[in-house]
Chain A
């Protein structure tokens, strides 16, 4: 992989998740990120941004902007998502019961479970008035 980074600012709108997909594809193309890792990074960023867009308006003050940054270094791809909404740590959401039979499965909590399971590292920090969610994936 070619080392480097790419960052951008998003509006707090669901339609922006399509831009996230385009950004990840472009980034992967320029930095030679393998397709399987790129899929996981795209999905994880999609889930984290979707979470902010759907949940932030319910918790004043709602986020007014989302910053995302992708980088590659030492065989690892990292993604950071920052927003200026109320403090919210998605990693505190209860995990879904993936062992339950079909009739008892609840559809909630799947997104953050995917992020937590598919990325190698996930971390949340509240810095000042901003939420910082970081994640990384090692690439073979």
Chain B
């Protein structure tokens, strides 16, 4: 797993790639929580290059989305591969988390909020 961070228009973006599993979920949790607590109101988790995620990674996604919500911000996910999308749908994350098909769609949706802020 690699995590690359970007800042665009005051929004934090975490680009994940490779495999997220029980062995590296703690590293993911610490990276995403520090982004969530960095003061930015919007966090986008870009999963375009994420090949695999198990329940340990999904638990981190849930924790981070809850933390952003409790801090008055928003958290969204984008670019899910068919496999990752299947997993999201199976545990109902597609209903409780904000998911965009592509990074471009996510940026288009999220930008107006950040420029207004």
Decide whether A and B are members of one complex: yes
List residues of A whose CB falls within 8 A of some B CB: 14-15, 17-18, 21, 36, 39-40, 42-43, 46-47, 50, 54, 96, 98-103, 105, 107, 110-111, 113-114, 117-118
Given A15-B23, A17-B21, A118-B90, check contact A110 B55 (CB 8 Å): yes
Q: Check B101 for interface membership: any CB of A closer than 8 A.
A: no
Q: Which residues of A contact B59 (CB under 8 A)?
A: 107, 110
- B93-110 interface mask toward A, CB cutoff 8 Å, 1 = contact, 0 = none? 001110000000000000
Q: Which residues of A contact B96 (CB under 8 A)?
A: 100-102, 105
Can you report 13 residue pairs joining A to B where beta carbons are below 8 Å apart? A17-B21, A21-B19, A43-B54, A46-B54, A50-B55, A102-B66, A105-B62, A105-B66, A107-B62, A110-B55, A111-B56, A113-B90, A113-B91
Which single residue of chain A is at the shortest CB-CB distance from B65? A102
Inter-chain contact A18/B23, CB cutoff 8 Å = yes
Which single residue of chain A is at the shortest CB-CB distance from B51? A39
Given A17-B22, A102-B69, check contact A50 B91 (CB 8 Å): no
> Closest CB-CB distance, A103 to chain B, in whole Å?
7
Inter-chain contact A114/B87, CB cutoff 8 Å = yes
Given contacts A36-B83, A117-B91, 14 further A-B contacts (CB under 8 A): A14-B22, A17-B23, A18-B21, A43-B52, A46-B21, A98-B91, A98-B92, A100-B96, A102-B96, A107-B59, A107-B62, A110-B59, A110-B91, A111-B55
> Closest CB-CB distance, B77 to chain A, in whole Å?
13
Q: Check B58 for interface membership: any CB of A closer than 8 A.
A: yes
Inter-chain contact B69/A103, CB cutoff 8 Å = yes
Inter-chain contact B97/A114, CB cutoff 8 Å = no
Q: Which residues of A contact B69 (CB under 8 A)?
A: 102-103
Given A36-B82, A107-B62, A114-B55, check contact A96 B91 (CB 8 Å): yes
Which single residue of chain B is at the shortest CB-CB distance from A46? B54
Q: Check B113 for interface membership: any CB of A closer than 8 A.
A: no
Inter-chain contact A43/B65, CB cutoff 8 Å = no
Q: Which residues of B contact A40 (CB under 8 A)?
A: 86
Q: Which residues of A contact B82 (CB under 8 A)?
A: 36
Bound Cα distance from A39 to B55, whole angstroms? 14
Q: Which residues of B contact A15 (CB under 8 A)?
A: 23
Q: Which residues of A contact B21 (CB under 8 A)?
A: 17-18, 46
> Closest CB-CB distance, B25 to chain A, in whole Å?
10
